[in-house]
Chain A
Amino acid sequence: MNLTDSSRRVPLRGGAMQDFLEFKAISKGYPGVQALADVSFSVRKGTVHGLMGENGAGKSTLIRVLSGDQSADAGDILIDGKAQHYRSVRDAFDAGVIVIHQELQLVPELTVAENLWLGRFPGKAGVIDRGQLIRVVKEKLAEIGIDIDPAAKVASLSIGERQMVEIAKAVMADARVIALDEPTSSLSSRESEILFALIDRLRAQGKVILYVSHRLDEIFRLCDSLTVLRDGKLAAHHPEIAKTTREQIIAEMVGREIANIWGFRPREQAAVRLEVKDLAGRKLPSPISFSVRQGEILGFFGLIGAGRSEMTRLVYGADSRSQGNVSVDGQTVAADSPPHAIRAGIVLCPEDRKFDGIIQGRNIEENMAISSRRHFSPFGILQPKKEAELADRFIAKLRVRTPSRKQEIVNLSGGNQQKVILGRWLSEQGVKVLIIDEPTRGIDVGAKSEIYEILYELAGQGMAIVVISSELPEVMGITDRIMVMCQGRVAADIQRADFDERRILAAALPDVSSAGELPNQQVQSR
Chain B
Amino acid sequence: MTSLKKLLLGEQGLVVIFAIAFAIVALTVPNFLTERNMLGLLQSVVTIGIVACTMMFCLASRDFDLSVGSTVAFSGMVAVMTSNASGSIIVGLIAALLCGGGVGLVNGVVIARFRINALITTLATMQIVRGLALIASDGRAVGINDPGFYQLALSKFLGIPTPIWVMAIFFIIFGFVLNRTVFGKNTLAIGGNPEASRLAGVNVSNMRIWIFALQGLVCAVAGVLLASRITSGQPNAATGLELSVISACVLGGVSLAGGRAAMTGVIVGVLIMGIAENVMNLLNIQAFYQYVVRGLILLLAVLLDNLRSAAAGRRS
Residues of A near any B CB (own CB < 8 A): 31, 316, 318, 337-339, 342, 348, 350, 355-362, 366, 370-371, 373-374, 377, 380-382, 408, 410-411, 424
Contacts and interface: CB of A to CB of B under 8 A. Distances in A.
Interface string B189-227: 101110111111111000000000000000000000000
Interface of B is mostly: helix
Contacts of A355: 193, 195-196
**Chain B interface: which size bin?**
20 to 34
Nearest to B315: A408
A380 B193 CA distance: 21
Which of A358, A377, A382 has the most chain B CB atoms inside 10 A of its CB? A382
Interface of B: 179-183, 185-186, 188-189, 191-193, 195-203, 259-260, 316
A359 B199 contact: no
Given A339-B201, A370-B202, A410-B316, A357 B196 contact: yes
Given A359-B193, A408-B316, A380 B198 contact: no
Nearest to B179: A382
A257 B68 CA distance: 61
A417 B188 CA distance: 19
Contacts of B200: 338, 359, 370-371, 424
A373 B182 contact: yes
A362 B189 contact: yes
Nearest to A343: B201
Given A374-B182, A380-B183, A382-B185, A318 B198 contact: yes
Nearest to B198: A338
Contact of B182 (A360, A361, A382, A424): A382
A103 to B, nearest CB: 19
A348 B203 contact: no
Contacts of A31: 316
A359 B202 CA distance: 12
6 contacts: A359-B196, A366-B185, A370-B200, A371-B201, A377-B182, A380-B182
A377 B182 CA distance: 7
B180 A370 contact: no
Contacts of B195: 355-356
Give 5 nearest A-B pairs by CB, closest first: A371-B201, A361-B259, A380-B182, A359-B192, A361-B192
A358 B199 contact: no
Contacts of A361: 188, 191-192, 259-260
A357 B199 CA distance: 8
Nearest to B176: A381
A26 to B, nearest CB: 22
Contacts of B316: 31, 408, 410-411
A338 B201 contact: yes
A380 B197 contact: no
A424 B192 CA distance: 17
B185 A350 contact: no
B181 A382 contact: yes
Contact of A360 (B201, B202, B259): B259
A356 B189 contact: no
A418 to B, nearest CB: 13
A342 B202 CA distance: 10
